[in-house]
Amino acid sequence: MRKLINLVLVILILSILPGCGTSGKETSELADPWLWLEEIEGEKALEWVRAQNDISEKEFAGQPLYAELKERFLEVMNDKEQVIYPDLQGDIVYNLWQDEKNERGLWRRMKKEDFISGKSEWDVVLDLDKLSAAENRKWVFHGASWLGPDNQVCLLNLSDGGKDESVIREFDVMKREFITDGFVIDESKGSAAWVDRDNIIVATNYGTGTMTTSGYPRIVKLWKRGEGGEKAVTVLETDTAYMGIFVGGTYSAGRLYTFINLKKTFYETEMFLYDKDGLHRLDLPLDAEFYGMHRENLLLYLQSDWVLNGETFPKGSLVAFNIEDFLAGTISVKTVYIPDEKSSLESLLSASDFIVISALENVQSKMKIFRNDGGVWVESPVPVPEFGTLSLVSSDQESNDFFFSFSNPVTPPTLFRGNGKEIVALKKQKDYFNASGLTVKQYEAKSEDGTVIPYFIVHKSDIVADGSNPTLIYGYGGFNISELPYYSAIRGIGWMEQGGVYVIANIRGGGEFGPAWHQSAMKEKRQNAYNDFFAVAEDVINRKISSPAFMGAFGWSNGGLLAGVALTQRPDLYNAVVIGAPLLDMRRYSKMLAGASWMGEYGDPDKPDEWAYISRFSPYHNLSKDISYPEPLFITSTKDDRVHPGHARKMAAKMIDMGHPLFYHETIEGGHGAASTNAQEAEMWAMMYTYLSLKLKGR
């Protein structure tokens, strides 16, 4: 789990699809009869949504399996004995707890030593349900930006209904209250960071013309305590065509570092340091990813080769340099970690005396500790369980304590504490489903261009290879994000416990083998990701594990687009397709919500040469009334302000108009995850797995 301070914009999104191209004139707004469904809160659009929701609820909610799954999912989500993942701030652990009595959640704290010793008495800092009732808002906790070193006040991010948009309010954790006349920033997709106790820098919506076409702030200002935004002084601004400006900071080595990221595109960032002397531009590769600070060292994950002073630092490497020396005019870059062609950096944590790295070796997690010994980063081996997924949870540079978890698809996660000398298991989550007899294997498929694509498969050890096993294939394949084999109680209960086979396809576009793996499925190479996904399905068929009548495809966000491509390009391979929070109308995606920020991944549909290849994988434009499609299930949320719900709405409406049957479920709140409470989430997953069971098991 990456802890990239408060600086890293966490935007997990999208994927794409092929078909038969359509001319710009045919896809113009005037020619789109379902454009009205893009009106998110429009009365006519919501009437259509409710009508479709009613159809799906009548189909699935009355099924015995639906009721059974919903009840079991809620038991898991509300279980008071589940593993608690800590957010470490100094000598205090924080955690957000949700259950049936606390739907919005309790934000709470405990001393680190008490947490490690297994105590269960938490000190509630903020009751989100009480706050929601008092303010008539559906508050969802979106994190906090701390003022170090004492971490007694923070800038608290709260979202109404789970949207990406948040309000930011100054909060005193010792007094457990919002600070009277403290900093308050209105709702936007903005960010704020501490400069000192009485000054913050704020990127937000300052009014007309202050947001980019991607929907993010283009102006950063300095706010002084007591003056609010009215007298704020502009620190930096950029063009509306850029993605936006994001701010964040961290307290490290006795100093508060405040950063400004000017993102030209999703993958090109100019980085600045802001302090009492003003703004300092850091002359770094635009595509390098900031991975936080360790003491005075700034850490970068290189996405391309960096040639500096005659030395080449290869892409995929983690490098570091002393930022104080850099500001004084000297830069001395040191290599921390270099992967090979079958390995990659996944995430890291920074402790007082070392950094902890989670790396992938042939899509299997390994842990490494690196210490800075006089400018040379020395690796120490760390023994951890084999064949599974490590998730780095939390650390703090005030000590050497760090937390991580390990799981695989049939082994519940165990929370561990490390300190650079030993690893101690703190708690193992109980088994939420019957995994007896299940086995995890890793196979390889060969894609259309000969590239070898690894995938994980989970099934009963006594499976009969007769092609009749219900199989669900999941993929993402975008934005340099790796898909790993981890434990999911929801998936185990809803699918594997009942005999379903589960497949994780490690297709190109992800980060499983570093930047090159991602870059090989960007823009005009996008079809590679889809061919990889199809190759995995065909390999499963060739092994006689399953066959199209028993096979389903599933993807969310960028993976939702992947599922849309699977539906339209290879309907012959699947009998069920779940299309979650998807991107589907690739002609208009760059004009819908945050869509413009993803053109670095997919291309610009307004450029004829780029639309030429985008049009071939745009699901919305490649539907045909003359093709028989598997009956899909669309899932989205009205409150998703990242991927516009209009994508799913319009695709479904177009299919209905063509006479194709489908199911549609739209949660009225919930953001990009399509749910903001445990009850909503349980209902959503129960519907999905009931649909899959009916389609692929006949139950």
Give the distance from CA 37 to its chain's centroid. Answer: 26
Q: Which residue has the tokens 């009956």?
A: 631
Residues 6+ apart with CB under 8 A from 262: 236, 238, 242, 245, 269, 270, 271, 272
For 328, 368, 383, 604, 645, the CA distances from 641, given in Å and listed in that order, are: 42, 37, 42, 20, 8
Give the distance from CA 508 to its chain's centroid. Answer: 17
- Per the CB < 8 A criterion, the answer to whether 686 and 599 are in contact is no
Q: Phi/psi at 321 (nearest 5 deg)?
A: -150, 155
Q: Phi/psi at 407 (nearest 5 deg)?
A: -155, 170
Residues 6+ apart with CB under 8 A from 559: 15, 474, 475, 476, 477, 478, 580
Q: CA 629, CA 341: separation in Å to the nearest integer?
A: 38
Using DSSP, state whether 623 is helix, strand or coil. coil
Q: What is the DSSP string of 596-617?
A: GGGHHHH--TTSHHHHHHHTTT
Q: CA 246, CA 243: separation in Å to the nearest integer?
A: 10
Q: Which residues of 511-522 are buried (b: 16+ CB within 10 A; e: fewer)?
A: bbbbbebbbbbb
Using DSSP, state whether 209 is helix, strand or coil. coil
Beta bridge partners of 333: none
Q: CA 92, CA 114: separation in Å to the nearest integer?
A: 9
Residues 6+ apart with CB under 8 A from 479: 11, 12, 13, 14, 266, 509, 518, 558, 601
For the purposes of burial, counting CB atoms within 10 Å of the CB of 65, is it exposed (0-12), middle (13-18) or buried (19 or more)?
middle
Phi-psi region of 573 (alpha: psi -120 to 50; beta: other; left: phi over 0): alpha
Residues 6+ apart with CB under 8 A from 333: 306, 308, 311, 313, 319, 320, 321
Can you list the positions of beta strands (E) in 447-488?
452-460, 471-474
Q: Where are the alpha helices (DSSP H) in 288-353?
A: 323-327
Q: CA 555, CA 282: separation in Å to the nearest integer?
A: 38
- Per the CB < 8 A criterion, the answer to whether 471 and 550 are in contact is yes
Beta bridge partners of 199: 196, 224
Q: Please write down the long-range contacts of 280-286, taking CB distance under 8 Å and 24 or more positions apart.
A: 280/327, 282/326
**Which token pair is 610?**
């780029």
Q: How many CB atoms lie within 10 A of CB 257?
A: 22
Nearest to 518 by CA among 344, 281, 276: 344
Q: What is the DSSP string of 120-175?
A: ---EEEEEHHHHHHHHTS-EEEEEEEE-TTTT-EEEEEEEESS-S-EEEEEEETTT
**Catalytic residue list:** 557, 672
